[in-house]
Structures are given as C-alpha cells and as structure tokens.
C-alpha cells in the first residue's frame, strides 16, 4: 500500500505543556496562528525512557527519538501508543524480535494483505526511516506522560472572548454548503465554498485533523488533531478564524457538540487516545470542565486494560447524551450531559475494538464497527441498551456508514471493509421490518478491499464506496458506484485520480453537498506531490469539477456543514 490511513496513522505527542505554544515571536496572519502545532510537532522533542533491552537491536539516542516520532506519526493510531494492538496487530518486543529486523523492514516497506500500507512503496518513509522503525519496535514501548485538567487549562487559549465576537454573520458564505477539508500532513484545514468551489481560507490546526464537527447552530466549527490540539473556529467572522484552542491530550481522534434541543453550542466533548479519557468543555470557549478516564476492564474477559482509547463520539438528537465508544474494553458509554456536576453514564457491553460508526435513518440506533471482531454493534439509544451484535465482513470500516430504504428489505445501513471486498448491508427497522432487522440482508461486491468510507444521500439513488487502502494502484484510485434501485447489478468502477490528471494518489472519503446532487472526493497525493478534490455529478456520474490548488496538500476528510449537523449519510 502507498499511504497511511487507518492502520499506521497518529499524531505526534506534544512538548511539555507550557512549551507547546512557546514561540510567540512569529508573525501570525490571524489570531492564534502562532499557537498552532502544525505537522510533526512534539514527540521527537519530548524526553521519554529509552529501553536498554539487550535482546533488541542497538539504537543510538537520535535513532530512538526518530523512531518514536515516526511511530507516533504513522503507526500508533491502529497499533496503540503502548503497542498492544487494536485495528492493527500488537507490536510487542518479544514477537517483533522473533521476526527480526529484515522481516520487519519488508512489512514496513511493502505492507501486508491484512490492510497495512507499504510506507516504502508510497515514499512516505525513506530506507533509513524503515530501518529505524524495524529496530525501534523491537524495543519496549516508552510510556508518554499523563495529561490532566491542570495541563489542559495550561494549554487553553481563549484568543477571542465571546463578547468580542460578531453579533451577526459578517460574511456572505453559504454556510450550509460549506466544506471543511483536512490537509493532513501540513496540520491545516481548508474551508471551501460548496457553491463556487473556491477556497475561502486555510487555517492552521493540529496535526492530521481526524474529524470536523459543527455546533448545532452552525456557527462554530470544531476540529481535533491527532496531536490532541482542538481548534474552535467562528464561521460568522468576515473570514472565519480560530477563537479558542486547547490540547486535551497527546493523541486524539474524536470530538462533537451537544445537539439536543436547548443545548445547542453549549457543550463540547473530545475523546483521547492518550491518555485514555474524554473531556467535557464549554462549547463557546473550550474551557475544560470535567475529565473522565476510560481505563478499566474489558467487557468480556474482565481483564484490566491500561489504554482503552476513545475511538468515536456522536451526539444524540433525542436525548441530552453523548455516545462514547471505548475501543479496547468494548464498552459504549451513554453520557448524560444535562448535569456535569452529577454526571450520569450508562455503560453498555458491546464488542471489543470499537472504532467508528453512524446513526440509522431514524437517529435512534447507533451502529459502530468493532473491526477486529468483524462485528457491527447496534445500540438502542432510546432504551439505553445493546440491540444486537451483527457479524459482517473482515474489519468493517464504515466511517459514518450509509442509510437508504432498500427496495426489498426496507431501511438499511451499510459498511465497507478493510479486509475484504464486500459491502455489508444491515436491516435497521425492527418496527416494520422485524424479520430483516439487525441482519446482513445483502453483501455487495466492492472493486477491491481496503475500503475506508461509504456514502449516499436521501435524495440520491447511488451508493459510493472507496478502496483507498487497497495495495493495487488502480483500485485505490477508483470508486465503486452502486445503483440503489438495482443492487443485483454490478457496480460501475470509476478511476477518479485519472479524471483529476493525477497518477500517484489514493481516492477517499465521499461527501455530498447539501442538495445531494454532488459527491466530493479527496484525491490524496503524497506531501511532495499533487492532490485535488474531485466533484462528481451524482445523477450522471460524470465529472463536474476538479479543485486544484498548491495549498491543497494531502487532503483527506471532508465535511459538509449541513449534512454533518443533521447526520445525513
């Protein structure tokens, strides 16, 4: 494989808290620019324990520090900070030493059939870096420092107080059709006008922003970088700007805001990989209010786990609750945010290695992939209990998944898979289609394995599926398009990289515009190469536009404001 996405992909750890934004001498163009972390900040500069294991291959201190930086940037997202494994296999020293340096160099350079990218074939690691990594993972993993409320408050910067912000919208941007686009390797975010296809602004953020969420009112945008840095961006400003930042940990993936009526914009929540915890904050300022650890015991074997990471968070539309998915323990937490002082949490035993997921069309049931158990867990958030565990294909990876009303089985939700070429279609209507509910009613054939994202829209009759982690160039550059009215018909396969005129790239993350008549894809090239956004006409399946700009470096996730707020997918 050629580029890292869900398998070896993680942000750098920060510097000591007070040092993370110490350089205030730079001439920032916007408030807060001097505080932004940017790509690669942190881990390589933090002192941590270096192993002296005599069985591990020799490393100089500089090599060990370089190995730590590479691992945190590219590997820990799936293998874990402590290397105990989840989406990726455990990388424990004894097992790695048995494989040996030469074998590990081959795996790192060329990838594996199970979904690990090849960092050599993609030119993301040099031969020297591959050699360092092969030796580094044979040493015991250094443990990063903890990160509590004190450290969070020290990192918190309220750049523009609430009373200094605009009282009304100061621009003519059609916010409901705004796209937020992650520029992974530069630690930036592009805001693109969905109507004109023009870049409005580029904002500095944390490294490799994993997700963008918008407040219930649509005024504020929240990002979380893989380095734990959160940006709060005010979209009402003449040019949208960051108005507050905080670092909630040294490694993070998830963020959301309160959506239940009466709580719009009021509360934000962020989940961390390290330290394993979630944080509740003031939604207008990012001031941290409460930190809750997720360390504990696995639901099945009841064994203590030191690193149960918060993989994904969604906000309920029917209750004042956040749905918090804890990867390693297999627990789904329904966190009632109506009273932060007396926090009430419902703990649901689901399945281990929870990752990402989305709502069914009714917004009552949340479906989340437990990808290392080849399972989708379904939670009934109205009743506050597990509805089902559904066996699917190998390593489901839905993103948010896709909802439609199947011509035969009624309302369904679907996921693609990292480990095989199938798309699993699950019935989601226990009221009117009980015989099909929580069962795989269809298995569609994607054009390859390595699917990261799948998407449709209520106004569309198409289902778009990528295969960005396939080891095959043609496959990773293409997408499958299924006709939802005739799913017995094979998918049309379209090479979007060729349409963009780019030879070295992965195509990933379909996202609809508000109207549901366009689908946007990231053509994700290497950091030193060319990238683009391809816009397809959903009805004709023909190319509508190619957005190219030298500032569009490694674009990955894209989030339409209206569809994100309303959970349309």
Q: Residue 445 CB: number of other CB atoms within 10 A?
A: 13
Domain span at 118: 47-136
Task: Tell me if 515 sits within 8 A of 535, measured CB to CB.
Answer: no
CA distances from 473 to 121, 384, 422, 505, 531 (A): 11, 44, 19, 8, 15
The domain tally of the chain equals: 2
Q: What is the pLDDT of residues 245-276, one digit of tens each?
A: 999 998 999 999 999 999 999 999 999 999 99
**Domain termination residue (choose one: 433, 463, 497):** 497
Q: How far apart are CA 401 and CA 150, in angstroms?
A: 37
Task: Tell me if 37 sits within 8 A of 103, measured CB to CB.
Answer: no
- 355 contacts: CB under 8 Å, gap ≥ 6: 87, 311, 312, 325, 327, 368, 369, 370, 371, 396, 397
Helix or strand holding residue 98 (H, E)? helix 93-110
311 in a structural domain: yes
CATH number of 68's domain:
1.10.760.10
User: Of how many residues is the chain composed?
Assistant: 569
19 in a structural domain: no
Q: Residue 118 CB: number of other CB atoms within 10 A?
A: 22
541 in a structural domain: no
For position 49, what pLDDT does the model report? 55
* DSSP 8-class letter at 393: S
Q: What is the pLDDT of residues 162-183, one digit of tens each?
A: 999 999 999 999 999 999 999 9
**Domain termination residue (choose one: 474, 497, 520):** 497
CA distances from 346 to 97, 300, 321, 343, 382 (A): 42, 17, 10, 10, 12
For position 300, what pLDDT does the model report? 97
The token pair that represents 102 in the structure block: 């030469």
Q: How far apart are CA 446 and CA 473, in angstroms?
A: 15
In tens digits, the chain (569 residues) has pLDDT values of 333 333 333 222 332 222 222 222 333 344 444 444 443 443 334 455 556 688 999 999 889 888 888 887 778 777 878 888 777 788 989 999 999 999 999 989 888 766 677 888 777 789 999 999 999 999 998 888 899 999 999 999 999 999 999 999 999 999 999 999 999 999 999 999 999 999 999 999 998 999 999 999 999 999 999 999 999 999 999 999 999 999 999 899 999 999 999 999 999 999 999 999 999 999 999 999 999 999 999 999 999 999 999 999 999 999 999 999 999 999 999 999 999 999 999 999 999 999 999 999 999 999 999 999 999 999 999 999 999 999 999 999 999 999 999 999 999 999 999 999 999 999 999 999 999 999 999 999 999 999 999 999 999 999 999 999 998 999 999 999 999 999 999 999 999 999 999 999 999 999 999 999 999 999 999 989 999 999 999 999 999 999 999 999 999 999 999 999 999 99
Q: Does residue 170 sit in the same domain as residue 96?
A: no
Q: Does residue 207 sit in the same domain as residue 241?
A: yes
For position 16, what pLDDT does the model report? 26
For position 114, what pLDDT does the model report? 65
Could you list the active site residues? Answer: 75, 78-79, 116, 355, 397
Strands 288-293 and 241-247: unpaired
* DSSP 8-class letter at 34: G
For position 88, what pLDDT does the model report? 79
Q: Does residue 343 sit in the same domain as residue 244?
A: yes
171 in a structural domain: yes
Q: Does residue 70 sit in the same domain as residue 132?
A: yes
98 in a structural domain: yes
């Amino acid at each position: 494989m050629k580029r890292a996405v869900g398998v070896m992909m993680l942000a750098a750890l920060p510097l000591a808290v007070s040092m993370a934004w110490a350089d205030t001498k730079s001439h920032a163009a916007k408030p807060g620019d001097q505080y932004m972390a940017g790509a690669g900040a942190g881990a390589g500069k933090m002192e941590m324990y270096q192993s002296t294991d005599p069985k591990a291959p020799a490393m100089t201190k500089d090599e060990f520090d370089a190995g730590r930086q590479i691992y945190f940037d590219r590997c820990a997202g799936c293998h874990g900070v402590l290397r105990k494994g989840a989406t990726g296999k455990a990388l424990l020293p004894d097992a790695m030493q048995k494989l040996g340096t030469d074998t590990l160099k081959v795996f790192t350079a060329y990838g594996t059939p199970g979904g690990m990218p090849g960092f050599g074939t993609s030119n993301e690691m040099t031969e020297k870096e591959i050699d360092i990594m092969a030796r580094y993972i044979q040493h015991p993993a250094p443990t990063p420092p903890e990160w509590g409320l004190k450290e969070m408050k020290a990192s918190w910067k309220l750049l523009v107080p609430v009373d200094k912000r605009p009282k009304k919208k100061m621009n003519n941007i059609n916010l409901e059709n705004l796209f937020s686009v992650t520029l992974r390797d530069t630690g930036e975010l592009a805001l693109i006008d969905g109507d004109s296809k023009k870049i409005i602004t580029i904002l500095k953020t944390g490294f490799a922003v994993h997700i963008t969420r918008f407040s219930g009112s649509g005024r504020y945008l929240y990002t979380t970088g893989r380095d734990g840095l959160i940006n709060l961006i005010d979209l009402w400003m003449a040019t949208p700007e960051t108005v507050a930042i905080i670092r909630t940990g040294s490694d993070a993936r998830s963020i959301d805001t309160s959506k239940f009526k009466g709580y719009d914009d009021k509360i934000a929540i962020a989940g961390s990989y390290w330290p394993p915890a979630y944080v509740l904050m003031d939604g207008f300022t990012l001031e941290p209010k409460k930190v809750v650890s997720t360390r504990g015991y696995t639901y099945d074997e009841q064994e203590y786990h030191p690193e149960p990471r918060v993989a994904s968070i969604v906000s309920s539309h029917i209750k004042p609750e956040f749905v918090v998915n804890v990867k390693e323990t297999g627990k789904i937490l329904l966190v009632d945010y109506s009273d932060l002082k007396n926090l009430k949490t419902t703990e649901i035993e689901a399945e281990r290695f929870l990752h990402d997921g989305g709502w069914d069309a009714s917004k009552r049931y949340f479906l989340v992939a437990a990808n290392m158990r080849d399972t989708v867990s379904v939670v009934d958030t109205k009743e506050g209990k597990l509805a089902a565990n559904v066996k699917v294909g190998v390593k489901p990876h839905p993103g948010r998944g896709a909802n439609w009303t199947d011509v035969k089985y009624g309302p369904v939700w679907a996921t693609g898979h990292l480990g095989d070429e199938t798309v699993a279609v699950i019935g989601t209507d226990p009221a009117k289609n009980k015989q099909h509910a929580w069962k795989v009613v269809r298995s569609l054939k994607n054009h390859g394995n390595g699917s990261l994202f799948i998407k449709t829209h209520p106004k569309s009759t198409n289902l778009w599926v990528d295969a960005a982690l396939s080891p095959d160039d043609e496959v990773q550059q293409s997408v499958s398009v299924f006709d939802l009215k005739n799913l017995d018909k094979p998918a049309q396969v379209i090479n979007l990289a060729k349409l963009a005129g780019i030879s070295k790239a992965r195509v990933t993350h379909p996202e609809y515009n508000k109207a549901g008549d366009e689908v946007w894809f990231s053509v994700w090239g290497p950091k030193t190469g060319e990238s683009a956004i391809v816009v397809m006409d959903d009805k004709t399946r023909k190319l509508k536009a190619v957005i190219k700009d030298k500032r569009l470096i490694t674009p990955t996730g894209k989030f339409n404001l209206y569809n994100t707020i309303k959970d349309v997918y």
